Amino acid sequence: DAGITQSPRYKITETGRQVTLMCHQTWSHSYMFWYRQDLGHGLRLIYYSAAADITDKGEVPDGYVVSRSKTENFPLTLESATRSQTSVYFCASSNWTHQPQHFGDGTRLSIL
């Protein structure tokens, strides 16, 4: 089925560990985005990608790394997780930045 899928849906890890969140879309959309959603802050953009091998920082990129070797995949890595990175993470895709975005169902990440 066409869509955007995130994995895992839930993850618990410890501070200092590396964790990678996966995002896969089947629409061949050019743009992909990573957001975090926290109470009181709404959605904040972490990183985005305009195409394979093209990525750029969003509003809150510190502590995160992204890559995009294939159009359909856009993994987000926390290289050394901190408690402040406990959040719900959403991946989204669109054909262009001004067009509607399609969201995955999120990864709820808890860092102990």
Only one of the segments 20-28, 41-49, 61-69, 72-80 lies at the binding site for another protein (rule: CB under 8 A); that segment is: 41-49
Taking the complex as a whole, the smallest distance from the CB of residue 101 to another protein amounts, in Å, to 7
Contact 99, 27 (CB under 8 A): no
Considering the rule CB under 8 A, would residue 92 count as an interface residue with another protein?
Answer: yes
d(CA 97, CA 33): 10
Chain residues binding another protein by CB under 8 A are 4, 33, 35, 40-43, 45, 48, 50, 58, 90, 92, 96-106
